[in-house]
Amino acid sequence: MATAAAHQAAGTEPDEAGSPAARSAEQEAAAAHQAVFDAAVAADERIEPRDWMPDAYRASLVRQIAQHAHSEIIGMQPEANWITRAPSLRRKAILMAKVQDEAGHGLYLYSAAETLGTGRDELLDKLHSGRQKYSSIFNYPTLTWADVGAIGWLVDGAAITNQVPLCRCSYGPYARAMVRVCKEESFHQRQGYESLLALSRGTQAQHDMAQDAVDRWWWPSLMMFGPPDDESSHSEQSMTWKIKRHSNDELRQRFVDICVPQAESLGLTLPDPDLVWNESRGHHDFGPIDWTEFWDVLKGNGPCNEQRITQRKRAHDEGAWVRDAAAAYAAKHGKATA
Amino acid sequence: MTTAADAPALPALPLGDDALVLSHRLGEWAGHAPVLEEEVALANIALDLLGQARILLSLAGDEDELAYLREERAFQNLQLVEQPNGDFAHTIARQLYFSTYQSLLYGQLATGEGELAPLAAKAVKEVAYHQDHAEQWTLRLGDGTPESHARAQRGLDALWRFTGEMFQPVAGVDVDWEAMRASWTSSVTAVVERATLTVPSGPQTGAWAAGAGRQGLHTESFGRMLAEMQHLHRSHPGASW
């Protein structure tokens, strides 16, 4: 697609591409496009779907946006696990609205990915066959009601820390999707915090439930920022392209610094004996992350990897006849349906 | 044990129970829908119904006490809404039957003077959307593929015997129940026939007398649904959340 666009902009026909003269014209055109692209990125301008972009930039965005979309829809599962057991009607309504928002975020993000020349069906197929990933955090189980609050506070908090800089990402459709997603995520995050606060200030059993959830979700949340900077294969290129604005370790540090005072006001502790304010750095020092666990979960060996993907595939497979019916009806009646 | 027969005859309670129980069933779809757009739609309908339930139950007492601390025999919802989800066609058939009923009922209540009129006036807009959603899917499934046609017919047939109870008068709800039955039948018939399906011809009541759900007589799966819904709340007596 990028090549076709390059030909078009350079005024050459693709079927001339075989001759040496055409090849050199093509190279010149590509170099000119690359220069325009580099200048736009350097000037903090937005790249739009019809603009020329390097193939690797396109591929990198598809990978990142698809993984982000997949995370939204797989992320529905651990929370939906508690919809039928939510302890009050108010909490049940909040949780249902949140899970519904996540499906909506998945839809925005698949649309953003589609502007890069891929299709939702293709992306879902890659998710189902394990060729594309989703956030490792959703491979942990929700064992108590407090996990729903901890996910809101920590997991959504980490997601927001990651995503706010993406609102300024160089690719326009992704940046605009992030603006909408971040508004809704911030709302969920506050609700999660408020839910944990209610538990922390509730009965002893509720307080213990909240502490246990924070103990289990803290480290996996820190892992959401990805591997340390020296082991992050995509980081450098993504930062040059301004897809990414900050390194994994920078964002992780920012998140820790935000969480420490919040944990104090919640009346809960964070499960890290090495967590201490470092006056000289102006940041909190924190203990080592268990990267063996991280890579293990990423490779598919986390507590819920199998279950999450099986449920997703089952929903898709069992829904095939419904999608076929909608398509057959649309074909008969000549209008687009679901 | 408190049963429906002991409960005060507040019209908000049976109507609130309908909305609460169906909302719960639709909530079970989260993460299991056939297409992402339906994750959004089913959750949206579930949320609307939960909102209605909260207003109605609050008119009758404390919403959480009523939802979480009553036993099966004290719930006054229709048996229709407690039926398990089954496949997507089964869920849609339940939605078609119920949203058509709710649309007619709220339509009438909204024009009245009773305490339910303000709720009905708000809910009637939501219900119109639910009805449209159910009708559109009835058409797509009925007039889609041979498989979807067969499944849609099975859903309509299986739930038909629970439709008669919708027209048993609810104490304190001042509507013309027979006229409602006639409007419901003609509305459902029109959609079902457009969908190339057949209106079921069997009896509209099961082994229990019609109106059993309103008297706290439920089907067996309902107890398990309540066990799941209530267990956490009941495990922490007096706690707030």
3-state secondary structure (DSSP) of residue A283 = strand
Burial class (CB in 10 A: 0-12, 13-18, 19+), A99: buried
- Whether B178 is covered by a domain: the verdict is yes
Percentage with pLDDT > 90 across chain A: 87
Contact assignment for B239 to A97 by CB distance below 8 Å: no
d(CA A318, CA B160): 24
Q: How confident is the model at residue A262 (pLDDT cuts 50, 70, 90)?
A: very high
> How high is the pLDDT of residue A158?
97
Average pLDDT along chain B, 241 residues, taken 10 residues at a time: 63 96 98 97 98 97 97 96 98 98 96 90 96 98 98 97 93 91 98 98 78 91 98 97 97
> How high is the pLDDT of residue A88?
98
> How high is the pLDDT of residue A5?
47
Mean pLDDT of the residues in chain A: 93
Cβ atoms A2, A55 nearer than 8 A: yes
The model's pTM: 0.93
- Whether B3 is covered by a domain: the verdict is no
The domains located in chain A, with CATH, are 37-322 (1.20.1260.10)
Out of B47, B54, B239, whose CB is closest to A100? B47
- Whether B69 is covered by a domain: the verdict is yes
Q: How confident is the model at residue A1 (pLDDT cuts 50, 70, 90)?
A: very low
Contact assignment for B40 to A100 by CB distance below 8 Å: yes
CATH number at residue B99: 1.20.1260.10
> How high is the pLDDT of residue B39?
97
**Average pLDDT score over residue span A99-127:** 96
> How high is the pLDDT of residue B113?
85
Cβ atoms B54, B70 nearer than 8 A: no
> How high is the pLDDT of residue A19?
72
Closest CA of chain A from B137, distance in Å? 8
Q: How far is CA B180 from CA A110, A190, B37, B183, in A?
A: 44, 45, 32, 5
Residue A74 backbone zone (phi > 0: left; psi -120 to 50: alpha; other: beta): alpha
Which residue does chain A place closest to B57, by CA atoms?
Answer: A89
- Whether B1 is covered by a domain: the verdict is no
Tell whether A25 lies on the interface with B, counting CB pairs under 8 A.
Answer: no
Containing structural domain, residue B178: 12-235
Residue that wins the pLDDT comparison between B211 and A163: A163
Cβ atoms B53, B19 nearer than 8 A: yes
Q: Which chain B residues touch A100 with a CB distance below 8 Å?
A: 39-40, 43-44, 47
- Whether B241 is covered by a domain: the verdict is no
- Whether B2 is covered by a domain: the verdict is no
Out of A87, A316, A327, whose CB is closest to B241? A87
Tell whether B30 lies on the interface with A, counting CB pairs under 8 A.
Answer: yes
Between A and B, how many CB-CB pairs are < 8 A?
Answer: 150
Out of A86, A93, A332, whose CB is closest to B51? A93
> What ipTM was predicted for this assembly?
0.96
Q: Which chain B residues touch A332 with a CB distance below 8 Å?
A: 143
Out of B31, B40, B87, whose CB is closest to A104? B40
Closest CA of chain A from B23, distance in Å? 10
Instruction: Name the domain count of chain B.
Output: 1
- Whether B136 is covered by a domain: the verdict is yes
Contact assignment for B140 to A337 by CB distance below 8 Å: yes
d(CA B79, CA B82): 5
Residue pLDDT, tens place only, A12-68: 455 555 677 777 888 898 899 999 999 999 999 999 999 999 999 999 999 999 999
Q: How confident is the model at residue A2 (pLDDT cuts 50, 70, 90)?
A: very low
Contact assignment for B63 to A206 by CB distance below 8 Å: no
Q: Is the pLDDT score of A253 beyond 50?
A: yes
Sign of the C-alpha dihedral, residues A315, A316, A318, A321? positive
